[in-house]
Amino acid sequence: MADVFTPAPVAVFTTGGTIDKLYFDAKSDYAVGDPQIGSILKEACAQVPYTLTQIFQKDSLDLTDEDRAVIASHVETSDAQQVLITHGTDTMVETAQVLQPMNDKTVVLVGALNPARFKNSDAVFNIGFAMAAVQTLPPGVYIAMNGRIFDPAQTRKNVNANRFEHVAPAEAEG
Ligand code: GLU
């Protein structure tokens, strides 16, 4: 585990998802906009050093196996020991499971159930929580959502209840 008192830069990779969505009222339509995590960290006066790289700007339902390989390659080649990935929630477990063999770094996936641009969004809380998690968890791949840490091998998104939940490995998504 890294020295939490002298933080090294966290590599932040963004892939899209609802956290970055824009709502077009006239069309009643959503599109994935620019990454919101940079402004969230700035507004929070976050003092954690980080680098920010936009990999994709996609709804996670549109991410392909090739896209997941690209995300994995960014994680693998990053100099950072701590990696934070913003990602849509629908297939977050799937991507986390692809990354799980790469357990020499601390990798945390985070998103939001409601767009960061909305007043009633979980984005700010989730980003703050995930930034703390990535600095303090031992090497491994984790999902940090709504105040809880999940092991991707034992997690699914309960779409009806709109939350992540711990399940037996055989019931995990992916
Ligand atoms: N389908 C979207 C996605 O997974 C919605 C879920 C979300 O981002 O929270 O990107």
pLDDT of residue 150 exceeding 80, the answer is: yes
- Out of 21, 60, 109, mutate this one to test ligand 1's pocket (max ligand atoms within 8 Å of CB): namely 60
Mean pLDDT, the chain, rounded, equals 94
Whether the predicted pLDDT of 132 surpasses 90:
yes
pLDDT in tens, 87-100: 999 999 999 999 99
Write out pLDDT tens, residues 154-174: 999 999 999 999 999 888 876
Domains of the chain: 10-156 (3.40.50.1170)
- Cα 170 to ligand 1 centre (Å): 23
Task: Output the 3-class SS for the chain.
Answer: CCCCCCCCCEEEEEEECHHHEEEEHHHCEEEECCCCHHHHHHHCCCCCCEEEEEEEEECHHHCCHHHHHHHHHHHHHCCCCEEEEECCCCCHHHHHHHHCCCCCCEEEEECCCCCCCCCCCCHHHHHHHHHHHHHHCCCEEEEEECCEEECHHHEEEECCCCEEEECCHHHCCC
This prediction's pTM = 0.95
